[in-house]
């Protein structure tokens, strides 16, 4: 891993200084659920290196991130059978970026979601996130 920013919350998650519900980790990527509940139930796929946005990813990081996102998405599908899955990523504050460390959101959706998220329940408790992470890990193949 190259490049960390000691003030970055995702770098602290990578370094295990802030707890998160881990779904997957490899050389270049980390997939986790945020225990701070800023994005309740979202699975976040992040670069392990501190790369601010998509413009800063090298080819190896970009490939690794999409591979992890696709595999975790399939594991979510196999574990929870959502009706759909939203995948999104933001660059810059005007686009909605709030943590300046590259990451992709994976968000399973159901018919009656609207913009409110169910996973399969809205605002899942920490214990539920742990249960969901275990289910996703059980379906994940690397």
5 contributes a contact to Zn ion by CB under 5 A? yes
Give the largest CA-CA distance in the chain: 42
Whether 101 is catalytic is no
HSE toward the beta carbon, residue 100, CA cutoff 13 A:
8
- Distance (Å, rounded) from C-alpha 94 to C-alpha 20? 27
Reduce the DSSP state of residue 63 to 3 states and report it.
helix
Candidate list 28, 50, 103, 105, residue with the active-site label? 103
Nearer CB in complex with Zn ion: 6/141: 6
Residues 15-34 contacting Zn ion, CB under 5 A: none
Tell me how far, at minimum, the Cβ of 67 lies from Zn ion, in Å.
20
Residues 6+ apart with CB under 8 A from 119: 40, 41, 80, 108, 132
Interface of this chain with Zn ion, residues 94 to 113, rule: CB under 5 A: 101
8 binds Zn ion (CB under 5 A): yes
Residues acting as catalytic residues: 103
Q: Which residues bind Zn ion (CB under 5 A)?
A: 5, 8, 10-11, 50, 101
């Amino acid at each position: 891993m190259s490049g960390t920013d000691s003030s970055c919350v995702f770098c602290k998650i990578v370094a295990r200084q802030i707890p998160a519900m881990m779904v997957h980790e490899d050389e270049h990527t980390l997939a986790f659920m945020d225990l701070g509940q800023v994005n309740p139930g979202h699975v976040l796929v992040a670069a392990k290196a501190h790369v601010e946005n998509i413009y800063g990813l090298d080819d190896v990081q970009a490939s690794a991130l999409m591979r992890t996102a696709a595999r975790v998405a399939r594991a979510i599908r196999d574990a929870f059978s959502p009706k759909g899955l939203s995948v999104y990523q933001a660059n810059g504050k005007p686009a909605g970026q709030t943590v300046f460390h590259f990451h992709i959101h994976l968000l399973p959706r159901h018919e009656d979601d609207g913009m409110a998220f169910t996973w399969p329940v809205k605002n899942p408790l920490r214990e539920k996130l742990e249960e969901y992470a275990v289910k996703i890990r059980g379906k994940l193949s690397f």
